[in-house]
Structure 1
């Protein structure tokens, strides 16, 4: 009886070992070409896409050492068609005037759009500048919601080195 169980166990174990060896050979032979193809696609895609990591600031940023109030806007790609936008402002001397963190989607060359409180807001990149404005003029009030003291995100910001 013990001999039969031992023989049965031995047969099952050898069958599993042989089966797993065959599967590994098949996987290795099919994975290698796929990996090479994926690498080529990734290289081509990366070469064609332009990821951004830019910083812009309001006029007061240049004189911040003298105590001027300023707003800074960072745009960083999360994918070829999306950017994360982080708005911050002076907080070392005063209470921060403006703050926002959102994701915007590319809608045209150099233009990204976010929806803030059901209003479409465009972030348009130009020659060393970023312009923030709503699509509909009547929605501009939403840009004041993210600022205190009567401020607004609407306007043109200059690139910061």
Structure 2
């Protein structure tokens, strides 16, 4: 799956990449700039699915739901949430799944393939190999599992009961774990990042994001110093979808501090024709950004200047590590 991701990200510019060895809660998102409209067969899988407990929620039964939305480059977005008004949520999981066949999609966790099968208004979650089904307990508490069959419902899920978590992802690299979550709170989105496994001081901080939402997170040892970096990607609300990066660097496996990412709009070398719609991904030891180039007179929905790809390297800074532009490429869509 990682190879598929790399091909989607940089195949058009003929860069060569290799598969990373990291444990993540979900596979990385293919970096396409504008999502293609889903075809009719794919559209039929979109919607909300629930387990048996949902129909008896008014009697106090616990329940788990699966929201399926269109992704990019043919993928679908999977968001598992459960009841949270009476106790801690049972299951929480976010991933991107990629087509296996017309009605089957899959994602990976720790090298194990999770399969999402759609048929006649139902969704079945399982593993490709039955011996790997223990991985489906990882996303749940109290001995619960994601494995099972969920039925599609009309309309929205019960807003008074459902877990308000907008994004959740757990990543591991070089013996350090990272938990990234975001929750809607009044006029802002609360991003929380905490670590587990640091030798001296664990990191646990929250940030108020105004006008932007968390869309993904990745880990990699970007400066090859034996300690990982965490990248959290956000997009702005509205039609522009301006991307941003919240970076964190582990210091000698002991503590963690923030990394500075320079705003694209403030860099004249790359900002010409920039109007958002950018996406980010880690490719080997580089942070890669891609966005459409807008020419004069282009509408927001129809950029005609091609694609700009910017590669950043992580370098030391005076107060903190920072990203510096390493390479810029432009090519046609």
Fold match by TM threshold 0.5: yes
Gaps of 5+ in 2: 1-35, 155-333
Measure how far apart 1:109 and its partner are: 0.8
Name the counterpart of 2:147.
154
Once residues 76 and 121 of structure 2 are traced to their aligned partners in structure 1, the CA distance between those partners, rounded to angstroms, is 17
For residues 102-153 of structure 1, what are the alpha-carbon distances to aligned partners after superposition, in whole Å with 9 as ceiling and x for unaligned? 0000110110100022110100001110000000011000000100000000
TM-score normalised to structure 1 length: 0.68
Q: Given the alignment of the two structures, is residue 131 of structure 1 paired with residue 124 of structure 2, yes or no?
A: yes
Map 1:64-103; keep pairs closer than 5 Å.
Answer: 64-79=57-72, 81-103=74-96
Which structure shows the bigger proportion of residues in helix conformation? Answer: 1
How far apart, in 2, do the equivalents of 1:57 and 1:157 lie? 5
Structure 1 runs (4+) greater than 4 angstroms displaced: 45-49
Query: 1:41-77 CA deviation, whole Å, 9 max, x = no partner?
Result: xxxx758554353110010000111110000001111
Is 1:63 the counterpart of 2:56? The answer is yes
Is the contact made by 2:48 and 2:152 (CA closer than 8 Å) also made in structure 1? yes
| 3-state SS, counterpart of residue 71 of structure 2 | strand
TM-score with structure 2 setting the length: 0.34
Q: Which 5+ residue runs of structure 1 have no aligned equivalent? A: 1-44
Mapped pair 1:145 → 2:138? yes
SS at match of 1:79: coil
The answer to which structure, 1 or 2, has the higher relative contact order (CA under 8 A, 6+ apart) is 1
Task: Give the aligned length.
Answer: 117
State the distance in 2 between where 1:69 and 1:47 align.
Answer: 33
Q: CA RMSD in A?
A: 1.7
Question: Where is the strand percentage greater, Structure 1 or Structure 2?
Answer: 2
In the other structure, the counterpart of 1:115 is 108
